[in-house]
Each structure stands twice: as structure tokens, then as C-alpha cells.
Amino acid sequence: MKTTYREAVREAIREAMHRDERVFLMGEDVGRYGGCYAVSKGLLEEFGPERIRDTPLAESGFTGAGIGAALGGMRPIVEIMTVNFSFLALDQIVNNAATLLHMSGGAFNVPLVIRMATGGGRQVAAQHSRSLEGWYAHIPGLRIVAPATLDDARGMLWSALEDPDPVILFEHVLLYNMEGELPEQAGPVSIEGAAVRREGTDVSLITFGIGVFKALEAAEVLAEEGVSAEVLDLRSLRPLDDRAILETVRKTHRAVIIDEGWRSGGISAEISARITEGAFYDLDAPPARVCGVEVPTPYPEHLERAALPQVPDIVEAARGLLSGGEGDVA
């Protein structure tokens, strides 16, 4: 059936709530308004206000309530409208959700799922355009996943709800309108491991989220020049799939890492380090990185485009590796 990323996420929530009465959704505007991105539209009418809970504009408060509900045996889905607002809940996420299992000596799991919209590209300026997946991937005790495809958007939620520990799902805002075909019987999808989205032999394009589709487009451009690019969708940022990353690099001997987040201290740096630690002698060139420019995301469209990784940037970085030059674009 034809559907959108938004509808795939909505159907995943609906199915989870039918399958398990302990599942409920809470967050800002998820009920009567139908969600800031219309993901939860219609769910209040279907499940009622006990299971589709509108909350005050208080991220720390309702995230903490979600942690408490998880400790009490429920399976909450907490929607934080945008990753930028998650700063207000950092104490709950980092100091409580991520640490309680360890600090209780293994006595208390926190089966909490947090959904966050992430990324730029919509002209909503610096306070609403950050990509902070790498920040959260730094934290032990959290599982970080970034569904890019319709299959993953539809299937990862149930797997996340079955995990006994906190899972954060990052949904890039530009993916919500993406259309495609999805089997009507689509079921749960693993939240572990990367996936090769395009086979190639000359250079590996390693990325996640919206970057997957930019990398696929870049691979098409490179193919016209006789370059075979492999596209690896990381899917999970914590834990990273080291095996898949090293396998693709050993196959192509060159790697371009694409991340909308900033270059300094970002997830791209971690991936680059793991490649050089694990496949140094397989490399024909140093790993290249295509990242967001290190400025607050601009509001004007032309400046915003310039600040975020684009297809020509990925193509340029790959060409640089193949020609023996430097590939980094920041």
C-alpha cells in the first residue's frame, strides 16, 4: 500500500496500543491537535484521553512522568516535539532513565520509548533545527535509533517497546512527507544493526536518517561518472554496528561519513575513529566527513542549505577520495 513516513509512524503507534494495553502516548499537542507533525492525528478519538495524553509545556515534567510509568510496569511512548526542546528534559533522560538500571544494581529497568523530531531544512531557524543524535549516542544506558525508511518507521517502534531499557527514536522532520510502498502486513523490525541500501565497490557512503536519501542520490550522480558507491544506513547509533561499518570499508577501501550534526565532537568523528582503529590497513585514503557547518542553523533558505550537507557536497567528498585529495566537507 502507498503511505507516508508520518502515516507509517502513526500506524506503528496504533498497532502497539492494540497489542498491549500498557502502551500509551504522552506529549505536547499529541491529542486534540493531532501532533505537531500530525503523527498522532485521530488517535485521541480512537483510544481516548487516558492513552493519548496531552501534557503541559514541561518536558522535564512529562518525561519524568514517563520514567515513573515505565518503572511502574507501563510502556509509555513519550513524544518530545523536537530534539531542541529535549534540553529541558536532559536531567530526566541522562541522569535518571539512562542510569537507574545501573544504580539499582540491576533491579529496575526503564522500558521507556522517547520519540523526537530532529534536523533542519524547514526554515525554522537555529532553535528548532538541531541534529543532536550524536549527543545522545554518547550516553551509556540509552539505545539510539534513527529510522530512515518506511519499513523502519513502521516496524522499529514495537521492537523499541519490547526493549527493557530506554530507547530514543529520532525521526527527521523532512522524512514525514516521504511517500512510498509499504506491505499491508508489515511487522516489527529489528532495532539492531546497519543495512546496506545500495551495493558498491569504490567508496562507502555511511550515514543515517535523511542522509540515507542524500547518499543514494549522490550515488546515482557518481554512477554516471563510473564510480560505484555503496550506501550504508547505520539505523542504530548506539550501539553502532562496527561489523557492518568495517565490512563496507574493507570492501571499498574508502569511506565518506555524512552527518547533519556538527563536525567537532560529532558521531562522524566516532565512526571515523572506529574505521581507522579497525580497518586502517584496508584504507586507500583517510575517511572523509560531510557535516553541518559549525554555525547556528540560519533562517534564510539559501544559507540554511549551505549550512547542511547536500548531495553535491557528498559527491565532492567522494571525488576527493578517489582522486587522492582530501575529502572532508564541513
145 and 71, same structural domain? yes
Domain enclosing residue 174, as ranges: 2-181
How confident is the model at residue 328, as a pLDDT? 65
How confident is the model at residue 187, as a pLDDT? 84
Query: Which residue carries 485521530 as its cell?
Result: 42
65 and 103, same structural domain? yes
Within a domain: 117: yes
User: Is residue 59 among the annotated active site residues?
Assistant: yes
Burial class of residue 259, CB neighbours in 10 A (0-12, 13-18, 19+)? buried
d(CA 220, CA 3): 24
How confident is the model at residue 81, as a pLDDT? 95
How confident is the model at residue 185, as a pLDDT? 76
User: Is residue 316 among the annotated active site residues?
Assistant: no
d(CA 36, CA 54): 12
When divided into structural domains, the chain yields a total of: 2
233 and 165, same structural domain? no
d(CA 37, CA 32): 13
Q: For strand 255-262 and strand 203-207, is the pairing parallel, antiparallel, or unpaired?
A: parallel
Q: For strand 236-238 and strand 143-145, is the pairing parallel, antiparallel, or unpaired?
A: antiparallel
Angle CA 223–226–227, to nearest 5: 65
164 and 24, same structural domain? yes
Tell me the pTM.
0.95
How confident is the model at residue 173, as a pLDDT? 96
Within a domain: 190: no
315 and 172, same structural domain? no
Residues 6+ apart with CB under 8 A from 273: none
Within a domain: 231: yes
> Of 7, 28, 59, 133, which is the active-site residue?
59
147 and 17, same structural domain? yes
156 and 256, same structural domain? no
Residues 6+ apart with CB under 8 A from 50: 24
48 and 132, same structural domain? yes
d(CA 328, CA 268): 11
Q: Where are the alpha helices (DSSP H) in 163-291?
A: 210-224, 242-252, 267-279
Greatest C-alpha distance within the chain: 60
Residues 6+ apart with CB under 8 A from 116: 79, 80, 82, 83, 86, 168, 169, 170, 171
255 and 157, same structural domain? no
Cβ neighbours around 12 below 10 Å, total: 27
163 and 283, same structural domain? no
d(CA 292, CA 86): 20
d(CA 3, CA 177): 9
92 and 57, same structural domain? yes
CATH number at residue 207: 3.40.50.920
**One pLDDT digit (tens) per residue for the chain, 330 residues:** 899 999 999 999 999 999 999 999 999 999 999 999 999 999 999 999 999 999 999 999 999 999 999 999 999 999 999 999 999 999 999 999 999 999 999 999 999 999 999 999 888 898 898 999 999 999 999 999 999 999 999 999 999 999 999 999 999 999 999 999 888 777 899 999 999 999 999 999 999 999 999 999 999 999 999 999 999 999 999 999 999 999 999 999 999 999 999 999 999 999 999 999 999 999 999 999 999 999 999 999 999 999 999 999 999 999 999 997 666 666
25 and 130, same structural domain? yes
> Of 128, 133, 230, 304, which is the active-site residue?
128
DSSP-assigned states of every residue in 32-68: TT--TTSTTTTHHHHH-TTTEEE--S-HHHHHHHHHH
22, 40, 74, 203 from 112: Cα distances, Å = 12, 18, 9, 38
- HSE on the CB side for 88, CA within 13 Å? 14
